[in-house]
């Protein structure tokens, strides 16, 4: 019996109308239910902007590389100009050294001329040339004398060697007598030759 009454109560709740809230409890601005957002599809312009951005980035990189190349070319040009300037400086220094040497010789010659002019024994340039020629002749004569002495010394040495060490010639025996070599055939003739000319033979 109790179960039957519970079922009746449930049926009564189903057919009962909802209770209306008083106007004071109702919200002034009722909230509308939120609808789910639809996914946005990327516009065509965004898809095209990606290659454009990449191309712009590549162009910027290319421009940077070109800028670096221009800087390097400028440095190379500066180095080349510096090398040319160094060559010019080197030539200038060489020319200055040549001029300095020439000026030194001029000063030396001037000093020499001044000493000659102030020398009371100087007899002029003609006498100087004669003295120079005479000095050259003396040097030649001195060289010839030294050569003759050297040749004479060699000849004397050769003659002494022949006197100290007589050698047989064509199977005979050689004896030096008054700077003349005499050749005999055998020892008997050699002994006879020694007795006749009073030469001691060893």
Contact of 167 with 174, CB cutoff 8 Å:
yes
Q: Are residues 136 and 79 in the same domain?
A: no
pTM of the model: 0.30
Whether 190 maps to a domain, the answer reads: yes
Regarding predicted confidence, which is higher, 172 or 191? 191
Structure confidence at residue 104 (pLDDT): 94
DSSP-derived letter for residue 120 is T
Q: What's the confidence (pLDDT) of residue 101? A: 94
Assess whether 108 and 74 both reside in one domain. yes
Query: Does 64 reside within a domain?
Result: yes
Q: What is the domain extent for residue 149?
A: 123-164
Whether the per-residue pLDDT at 56 is higher than 50: the answer is: yes
């Amino acid at each position: 019996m109790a179960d039957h009454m519970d079922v009746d109560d449930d049926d009564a709740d189903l057919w009962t109308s909802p209770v209306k809230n008083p106007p004071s409890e109702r919200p002034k601005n009722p909230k509308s239910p939120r609808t789910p957002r639809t996914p946005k599809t990327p516009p065509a312009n965004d898809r095209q902007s990606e290659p454009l951005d990449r191309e712009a980035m590549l162009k910027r990189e290319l421009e940077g590389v070109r800028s670096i190349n221009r800087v390097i070319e400028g440095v190379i040009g500066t180095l080349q100009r510096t090398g040319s300037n160094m060559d010019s400086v080197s030539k200038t220094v060489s020319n200055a050294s040549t001029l300095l040497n020439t000026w030194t010789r001029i000063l030396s010659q001037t000093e020499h001329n001044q000493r000659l002019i102030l020398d009371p024994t100087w007899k002029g340039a003609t006498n100087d040339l004669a003295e120079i020629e005479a000095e050259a002749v003396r040097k030649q004569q001195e060289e010839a004398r030294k050569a003759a002495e050297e040749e004479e010394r060699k000849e004397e040495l050769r003659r002494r060697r022949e006197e100290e060490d007589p050698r047989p010639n064509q199977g005979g025996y050689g004896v030096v007598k008054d700077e003349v070599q005499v050749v005999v055939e055998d020892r008997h003739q050699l002994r006879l030759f020694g007795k006749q000319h009073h030469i001691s033979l060893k």
